[in-house]
Chains A and B, each alone.
Chain A
Amino acid sequence: MEKNMLKDENDRVDGFLKVTGKAKYFAEYELPGLTYGVLVTSTITKGKITSLDTKAAEKAPGVIAVISHLNKPSAAAYEQEGGPQMKIFYTDKIFYNGQPIAIVVANTFERATYAASLVKATYAKETFNTDFEKALKDPKAKKFQGQADYKRGEENAYKTAEVKLEERYFLPIETHNPMELHGIIADWRPNNQLTVYAKTQGVKATQGTIANVFKIPIENIQVNSEFVGGGFGMALRTWPLEIATVMASKHIGKPVKVVITRMQMFTMVGNRPAAIQTIGLGANKDGKLTGITHRAYGETSTYENFTEGVVNMAKFMYQCDNVNTSYVIIPVDLGVPIWMRGPGEATGAFALESAIDEMAHALDMDPLEFRIKNDPETDQQKNKPFSSKNIKEAYKIGADKIGWRNRKNKPGSLVEGPWQTGYGVSVGVFNANRGKASVKGILKADGSLLLQSATSDIGPGTGTGMTLIANKLMNIPVNKITFELGDSSLPPAPSQGGSATLSTVGSAVNDVCVALKSTIAELAANSNMDATANFVDVLKKNNLPQIEITKESQSGKEKDSYSMYSFSIHFVQVKVNSLTGVVKINKIVSVGDSGTIVSPKTARSQMVGGAVGGIGMALTEESIIDHRYGRYINNNFADYHVPVNADVPEIDVNFINKPDPYINPMGAKGMGEIALIGFSAAVANAVFNATGKRIRTLPITPDKILA
């Protein structure tokens, strides 16, 4: 019935449910006998728990259990030697401040919260370091190679170039902070049957992780996650707090719900790690790049390593015969990071695309012209042609729309009172991925089509995209198509990450639809019907209530022959107040080059969301730690500044919308990441154009403008 609310075919299929509160998120499930867990966290940064006094908590009203390393509830994999260092409740070691050390389960959330405050830990403290800059300078600090060094041509060729620059860029920790708090409901039943309601970007991944830890068959675990209130990468893994909840449910034999606090969102579910990067660029006086060196250092934890694609872009984005990159990760005493939208590429693009702008300035060239001049025809890293790339067309559309012709190459040229106006541009690029997924299609004689896959929707509009793919192929109205996801019992699909869902699962939808059509055509032929007969008539004639086909789909050899990427261009116009240092983004034009646009409305929303995230990265977001204590100082929504409406101007979203001939049957490449990648550099470049000040440390706050 809700589906009839769709105003046109491009509306979000679950939009009505979401805006009316009918979409049910994990924390909203009420199970009989549900209990509530609250996590107790470490207040020191490194060391050992020497004692944990749980008596008062255990005696508090409504408390069912207090679980910690003292009573080690059963978790088969943790009982064995080896494996991960961070085995929750199987270690007395403290790896970071805010680490969960116990869970208190009670019959109400409030009672659990109070009892958790009664658990008292004493510690043997050790010296620690949470300061990434300090770790980088410390010759004794551990350093690991995060990615193999890359070299094409001469190493550090920029150093001998006619025009050269070498600059250092700093990116602070950012925290994903989706609106929905993280957590899980675990319901462990006799005979090791487990049902969970999770907030996850991958129901199969959650299922697999839990099965591994508790050594129970995957089939015993049912994971439900139909709606997710934003993920941005933080729900790409099953966190210790989720394992703790499952342990608790198994231990007490009742369902347990845990929803962590906003403050705990800063320490329990990862972040975009801090990064320090050096870019060396060399060019000849005509503006041809002759050397690119990108060296990056990324933050990781002491108990688990984390890497991301910080230096990928430098290897292929520009025509240059001499390129070398290195990426080193350095542990600090903080919780392990996780991919955050645009992951490492967004980090790398800030540095590289700022440096490109700096080089254009050094050459006295228009930065757009400089990019066009160094635009490669083929991928020099992989030595393959691009499957599709329309970047020059994207440059043109964006430049026209932002009014690039009004830009002056000389910084600080456009002044009106204290306000200085500037224009900036940057490129974003991300792998156009396609993985393996299965989809079941059930075509019914009532004229409807049901599609099922264990994929997720963390917000991009997965169901809408899949519905539109089927709608186009099957010529069935969208309100007769249902796409079910977020259920681990459905045909398998990968987690939603890396901008791959539409390409991966969409291809399986495509294949299922093609197969259903050909089955219908066969049935029609066998029953002497016209080849164009409606499937409803064909099914009825054959006395079939429905037909059901499951298809697994993955990429073929085309992957070996082409280099596949999605591209974006971000243009911004900023105004900077020279007295107060306030930066105001006046106008944004983003152009996506990601093949066919399957679902125009939700694709646009993705680009808008990416730009808003980009504003945060560029101007407002930073998770601040007091390194004397190893504790976050701004771990709440008043002090951790995500952009608000007043920070966001109109965002003009454009798509090239030309199919990629090779990536998949739809010709559609992913676009969740490119919506954000590069955006922060466009802002930094615009600020430079406005003021002549080059800010190489994000976020660009008023103090940095005035410095």
Chain B
Amino acid sequence: MINFQYLRTTTAKSAIALLVKDKNAKFLAGGTNLIDLMKRGVTAPEKLIDINHVPLKEIKQVGNKIHIGALASNTAVADHVLIKEKLPLLSWALQAGASAQLRNVATVGGNMMQRTRCGYFYDIEMPCNKRQSGTGCGAMEGFNRMHAIFGTSEQCIAVHPSDMCIALVALDAEVVLASTKGERKMLFKDFHRLAGDTPHLDNNLKADEMIIGLEIPINNLAKNYHYLKVRDRASYAFALVSVAAAFEIADNKIIDVRLAMGGVAHKPWRLTASELFLRGKEASLNNFEQAAQLAMKDAKGFGGNDFKLKLAPNTIIEALNLAKSKA
């Protein structure tokens, strides 16, 4: 048997202490991705540190920010009155992800840590630089319909699979991390990485760190927003392309705007240039179309995913239209 040690702890401090003791230890939260990876032989941690009993489930407002504990379930966050009222974009994005059953056990921290769904990554008989360095990228010249069009590398064209994270990057969230040295904060946009020459790394979490929670500034984006996820079936499918869009509009003029895309890159893809273009402009179809075109600069298809070069700008336009028309 591929044995592993199962440990359970009730404080973040002891969890971190257990983690640093063993290089091959992993935190177990909802387990909706980790257990699959273990079953498929993609990963084989020697220690599983069950952190489900660490009290990090709280969702609360502190000053002008919403704090979300790393172990709050996806369902708890999506359904929470604070999130629905103040950060509805996040609630929508969460509900677009996975299935109700998965959302009930999957946690915020786990959602951030989930690994790509690239088929080559999961099949240990196939080449994959992310799983095993130097074996090559199976998707590059293989089945890459689901794969990235932005920020790809020679090593890896996988996409980050989360919906929640697309909303979080748009909402300027911050991640609170803890280690034996204390706590630090990181901008959410800096949490995930591009594949580059290190496709085995999905994020910038250090080996001795634990995700404690999120802090999200309250904004004026709760009225005109939309999370549009285009997928192969209406539920329980990963995004071909998804767009998180939110505005603050006054007299049809865009005061603030947030745009981020999923299903297109190795990390949640914030559309900074498009936002910059739209800020101060009229919320018109023409401007939406121009913003969408701006977003596509440097996009590159790999054959199977060439359709995303058309789908992505279309989805941006449609998401902006729907955000604008939201009453």
A636 to B42, CA, bound (A): 15
Select one of B122, B233, B310 contacting A647, CB under 8 A.
Answer: B233
Which of chain A's residues have a CB closer than 8 A to the CB of B232?
Answer: 620, 641, 701-702
0/1 string, A417-432, CB within 8 A of B gives 1: 1100000000000000
Q: How far is the CA of A647 from the CA of B233 in the complex (A)?
A: 7
A605-630 contact mask (Cβ, 8 Å, vs B): 1 or 0: 00000000000000110001010110
A633-B318 in contact given A646-B233, A646-B235, A647-B233 (Cβ < 8 Å) = no
Given contacts A579-B314, A703-B311, contact A647 B234 (CB under 8 A): yes
A71 contacts partner chain B, Cβ-Cβ < 8 Å? no
Residues of B within 8 Å of A620, CB to CB, are 232-233
Known: A110-B1, A707-B307. Is A579-B317 also a contact (CB below 8 A)? yes
A638 to B41, CA, bound (A): 17
Among A194-202, A441-449, A463-471, A580-588, the stretch in contact with B: A580-588
B142 touches A633 (CB 8 A): yes
Q: Contact between A633 and B143 (Cβ–Cβ < 8 Å)? A: yes
By a CB distance below 8 angstroms, the chain B residues around A647 are: 233-235
Instruction: Check A582 against B230 for contact (C-beta < 8 Å).
Output: yes
- How many A-B Cβ pairs are below 8 Å? 87
A643 interface residue per 8 A CB criterion: yes
* B41 and A580 form a contact (CB under 8 A): no
- The contact string, 1 if C-beta is below 8 Å from chain B, for chain A 96-118, is 00000000000000110010010
B233 near A111 with CB under 8 A, answer no
- List the A side residues contacting B230 at CB < 8 Å: 580-582, 702
The closest CB in chain B to the CB of A645 belongs to B235
Q: Are B311 and A581 in contact (CB under 8 A)?
A: yes
Say whether A703 contacts B233, CB under 8 Å: no
Mark each residue of chain B from 231 to 265: 1 if its CB lies under 8 Å from any CB of chain A, else 0.
01111111010000000000000000000000000
**Count of interface residues, chain A, beta-carbon cutoff 8 Å:** 37
A94 to chain B, nearest CB (A): 14
Q: What 1/0 flags go to A68-106 for Cβ under 8 Å of B? A: 000000000000000000000000000000000000000
Closest chain A residue to B102, Cβ basis: A638
User: Do B240 and A579 touch (CB < 8 A)?
Assistant: no
In the complex, A1 has a CB within 8 A of chain B: no
Q: Which residues of B contact A644 (CB under 8 A)?
A: 99, 233-236
Asked if B76 is at the interface of the complex by the 8 Å CB criterion, the answer is no
B10 to chain A, nearest CB (A): 28
Residues of A close to B317: CB separation below 8 A = 579
In the complex, what residues of B have CB within 8 A of residue A633's CB? 119-120, 123, 142-143
Asked if A639 is at the interface of the complex by the 8 Å CB criterion, the answer is: yes
**Interface residue ranges of B197-230 to A (CB < 8 Å):** 228, 230
Which listed residue, A114, A636, A638, A643, touches B238 by the CB 8 Å rule? A638
Give the complex CA separation of A111 and B2 in angstroms.
Answer: 10
Contact of B237 among A581, A626, A628, A641 (CB under 8 A): A641
Contact mask for chain B residues 115-149; partner A; CB cutoff 8 A; 1 contact, 0 none: 00101101101100000000000100111010000
A702 touches B311 (CB 8 A): yes
B278 to chain A, nearest CB (A): 18
Contact between A114 and B2, CB atoms less than 8 A apart: yes
Q: Whose C-beta in chain B lies nearest to the C-beta of A620?
A: B233
Instruction: Contact check, B2 vs A634: say whether CB atoms are below 8 A apart.
Output: no
Q: Which of B123, B138, B143, B311 contacts A624 (CB 8 A)?
A: B143
A628/B142 in contact, CB under 8 A: yes
B75 within 8 A of A: no
Segment 26-83 of A: residues with Cβ below 8 Å from B: 43, 61
**CB nearest neighbor in B for A261:** B39
Q: What is the CB-to-nearest-CB distance from B46 to chain A, in angstroms, rounded to a whole number?
A: 15
Q: Which residues of A contact B235 (CB under 8 A)?
A: 644-647
- Residues in B neighbouring A581, C-beta threshold 8 A: 230, 307, 311, 314
Q: How far is the CB of B30 from chain A (nearest CB, A)?
A: 15
Contacting pair A639 B314 (CB below 8 A): no
Most buried by B among A110, A111, A639, A702: A702
A626 touches B233 (CB 8 A): no
A619 pairs with B233, CB closer than 8 A: yes
A577 surroundings in chain B (CB, below 8 A): 318
**In the assembled complex, which residues on chain A have CB atoms less than 8 Å from the CB atom of B143?**
624, 626, 633
Q: For the complex, what is the distance from the CA of A117 to the CA of B238, rounded to whole Å? A: 30
Query: B315 interface residue, CB < 8 Å from A?
Result: yes
A–B pairs, 26, beta carbons within 8 Å:
A110-B1, A114-B1, A418-B321, A579-B315, A581-B230, A581-B314, A626-B142, A628-B142, A629-B126, A631-B123, A634-B119, A636-B122, A638-B237, A641-B232, A641-B233, A641-B237, A644-B99, A644-B235, A647-B233, A647-B235, A702-B307, A702-B311, A703-B307, A703-B311, A706-B307, A706-B311
